Amino acid sequence: MFTGIVQGLGSIKSVRKMAQGCVLDIESDFELEHHEPGESIAINGVCLTATTISSSRFTADVSPETLSRTTLGELGPGNRVNLERALRLSDRLGGHIVSGHIDCVGMVTERRELRDFTLFSFKLEPRFDRYLIEKGSVAIDGISLTVNSCGSGRFSVSIIPHTCSITTLGFRKVGHRVNIELDVIGKYVEKLLKGGSESAASNDAPAMDAAFLSRHGFL
């Protein structure tokens, strides 16, 4: 698990083809202290396993499934990526709960420089609209952000200068593709509401639906 608080940037040193997948060799701009081979590191929001790791350099295998669902297949030597090491139980949850499992790839449709911040707008498939709410959480290339506004197949976020300076959003432009992970809590709630009646039929548990939530003061 991750928080969406990017710890630093990495630079792609090489991309080696491996069967239908690939191996990424990445140099981080911060020390990977107390590292262990096999630990999880999020690269542009994608949870990968560090197969080899040193003080500031590591390699990670990328499967064909991951290449097909994320932007990692578009990376090449010299590209910069956001890095976050896995959450420890003692860490602050400064962003929101991020799994490192990408839901879809979106595209930057607008970048507008305003007085004290940068407004980014993105488009994505409309079927994901239900997971986006105003002032809710979303992870873009592994960065925990707050949804500024949302509509059919689109949403926007406001970025402070600090975030632009320490993440890849600083050099994202219109037309660039990004990894998007939607709020995992919303997805679990949706699954419970859809499957509540089936669960009740199988184990006599009360149906978890809108009426149940209303009766118990949640709605």
Mean pLDDT confidence for 19-35: 94
Could you tell me the pLDDT band of residue 212, with boundaries at 50, 70 and 90? confident
Total Cβ atoms within 10 A of residue 105:
15
Q: Please check whether the two domains, 8-85 and 104-184, share a CATH topology.
A: yes
Q: Which of 4-18, 92-106, 200-214 has the lowest mean pLDDT?
A: 200-214
Task: State both tokens at 127.
Answer: 């079927």
Domain residue extents for the chain: 8-85, 104-184, 185-215
Q: What angle do CA 92, 94, 99 make, to 5 degrees?
A: 95
Mean pLDDT confidence for 191-211: 62
Could you tell me the pLDDT band of residue 201, with boundaries at 50, 70 and 90? very low
Closest CA to 155 of 186, 179, 123, 131: 123
Interacting residues of 103 by C-beta distance below 8 A, sequence separation 6+: 128, 131, 180, 181, 182
Total Cβ atoms within 10 A of residue 157:
21
Overall CATH class of domain 104-184: mainly beta
Mean pLDDT confidence for 152-171: 96
φ, ψ (nearest 5 deg) of residue 179: -80, 135
Percent of the chain topping pLDDT 90: 73
Q: What is the pLDDT of residues 85-102, one digit of tens each?
A: 999 888 888 889 999 999
Pairing of the two strands 80-85 and 40-43: antiparallel
Could you tell me the pLDDT band of residue 194, with boundaries at 50, 70 and 90? confident
* Cα(151)–Cα(33) distance, integer angstroms: 42
Could you tell me the pLDDT band of residue 40, with boundaries at 50, 70 and 90? very high
* Cα(22)–Cα(48) distance, integer angstroms: 12
Residue 207, pLDDT above cutoff 80? no
* Cα(47)–Cα(86) distance, integer angstroms: 9
Q: What is the pLDDT of residues 111-147, one digit of tens each?
A: 999 988 999 999 999 999 999 999 999 999 999 999 9
Q: Is 134 exposed, middle or buried (0-12, 13-18, 19+ CB in 10 A)?
A: exposed
Residue 202, pLDDT above cutoff 60? no
Closest CA to 79 of 22, 32, 20, 25: 25
Q: What is the pLDDT of residues 45-85, one digit of tens each?
A: 999 999 999 989 999 999 999 999 999 999 999 999 999 99
Mean pLDDT confidence for 10-23: 95
The pLDDT value given to residue 189: 86
What pTM was computed for the model? 0.86
List alpha helices for 154-183, DSSP H. 161-166
Overall CATH class of domain 8-85: mainly beta
* Cα(122)–Cα(135) distance, integer angstroms: 16
